[in-house]
Each structure stands twice: as structure tokens, then as C-alpha cells.
Structure 1
């Protein structure tokens, strides 16, 4: 009888599946239960945004230089998002390594898919938040059209 070549154990594939599962669950947890760091009230944040826009416009009209950019401090939410990205990337790498080692395809492809879903969910949520944030900023600038009239150069038809 011919000797059958036995596929290696699916160690890397199952580790990739586990890390991909943790990354996807952590992504969903961050999205639904977060943010975990203390946040300012939305009204306070929008008020500060409007005040900063007004101060920046006044400095620009007066010909004064703008202040230097501030580096924001990292909080627990930033570290959680970085951790999810690392886990998802590790899951994809482990799945590909399992395929290269000719391990069972189901575990390897599951690890790649779960890692990709974690990254995809995080990017989709980030993209939607950026889109909505841009709409809010456009609405604030449009609201300021009467206060700054000619400063925006007829941008709003006034």
C-alpha cells in the first residue's frame, strides 16, 4: 500500500483563527461599548471648534501666524484600536503561514477571514465617523456665513 502524506497539524491555522476571533470581538466591543476614556460633551467640543475657527480666521485676516500644532495625548481607546490592528494583522499572517505550510485550509482561511473582517469593520466604522464629522464641520462653517460674510469670499453666495 502506498504511503499517504499526512498534512501537518493545523497549529498556526488555529492560532490565527483564535487571534482573528479575539480581534473581531474586541473590535465590536470597542465600537458598541466605547469610548472608554473620558470624553467632553459634544456641545463643548463644537463650541470650542467654532471658537477656534473664528480665532483662526481673525488671525488670518490680521496677517498673524497660526499657532504651532499640538500633539494629542494617547488614551486607552487609542491603545485598544492599535491592539486590534496588531491582533488582526497577526491573524492574517498566521493564516498565510498556515497555507504556506500546507496545513488544513479551513482553519487557515478562517484566520485570514476573521482578521480581514476585524480590519474591515474598524476601517468602515472609522470612515463613517470621518464622513459624519466632515458633515458637522461643514454645517458649522455654513452657520458662520452670516458672522463672517465676506471673509469666505462669497463661498455661500452672500
Structure 2
């Protein structure tokens, strides 16, 4: 009974690799081809933002209450982002489970790496978009203060 090792079938490792690969593929499709939901033009969005800032500042200076926040409707883009995050997390969990079961180390680490990369990619693109949005909003507020200097105290 000497050297008997139980050869396990690397099911969890392959599943983690498959989920990580699928998450990466969908993430790149969403990044390169998206958004898939209908979007307003940037000019309309900025105009509405500027009008909302002015009306909010006017209500605040007049001592009026601000309106209740509106719940945004979910779009296909939101569901795709959630699905990507879930698939990446499942890839990481399957990879960890494969390591615990002593399955193929390469497959397990590949699933963990793919899942981690997809999550890092999603976070990175979100942070870059938020920074660009803050810069854009600051530019709009700056132009509003030039236009409506008396309202904003400029």
C-alpha cells in the first residue's frame, strides 16, 4: 500500500477558470461595446445638471425643502455589471475551493487570478469614470458661477 495518492478530477478548478473567463469576456464586451441601454446625449445631461444645481441653490437660499430623491430604474447595463461581479466572485470561490481540495494548482490559481483581475478592472474603470465625472461637474459649476455670480456669491 505504499504510495497511493487520490487523483481528483479538477471540476472546481475548471469551473473557476470558466467563470473567470466568462466574466472577463463579458466585462470587455461591456467596456468596449457598451452601454447597451439608451442614453441621453452629454449636452442634455449637462444642461439638466446645471438647471438642477441652480434650482437646488435657489430653493436652499429661499429656505424651501429639497424634493425627495427619485429611485433610478435598473437598466440592462446595471444587470450586466452585477452579473460580471457575481461571476468573478464565483470564479475566486471555486478557485479557493479547488486549492482546498488539492486539485490542479494551475487551474485553481488561474480562476482566482481571472476573477481578481475582472474585479480590479471593474473597480479601476469605475474610479476613472468617477474622476472624469467630478472634473466635468467642477467645470460646469465653475461656468455657472461665472454666469450666475450673484447667486453663488462670486
TM range (shorter): over 0.9
CA distance in 2, matches of 1:91, 1:59: 49
Counterpart of 2:74 in structure 1 is 74
Contact in 2 for aligned 1:96/1:108 (Cα 8 Å): yes
Q: Helix, strand or coil: the match of 1:144?
A: helix
Counterpart of 2:124 in structure 1 is 124
For residues 42-92 of structure 1, the C-alpha deviation after alignment (integer angstroms, 9 at most, x for no partner) is 100000000000000110111101000000000100000000000000000
**Structure 2, gaps ≥5 residues long:** none
- CA drift of 1:151 comes to 4.2
For residues 77-117 of structure 1, the C-alpha deviation after alignment (integer angstroms, 9 at most, x for no partner) is 00000000000000000000000111110000000000011
Q: Helix, strand or coil: the match of 1:35?
A: coil
Aligned counterparts, 1:75-114, within 5 A: 75-114=75-114
- CA-based RMSD of the aligned residues comes to 1.3
More moved, 144-153 vs 78-87:
144-153
For residues 29-54 of structure 1, the C-alpha deviation after alignment (integer angstroms, 9 at most, x for no partner) is 00000000000011000000000000
Aligned residues: 154
Aligned counterparts, 1:4-153, within 5 A: 4-153=4-153
CA distance in 1, matches of 2:118, 2:24: 5
- CA drift of 1:9 comes to 1.6
Contact in 2 for aligned 1:15/1:94 (Cα 8 Å): yes
CA distance in 1, matches of 2:152, 2:2: 82
Contact in 2 for aligned 1:94/1:108 (Cα 8 Å): yes
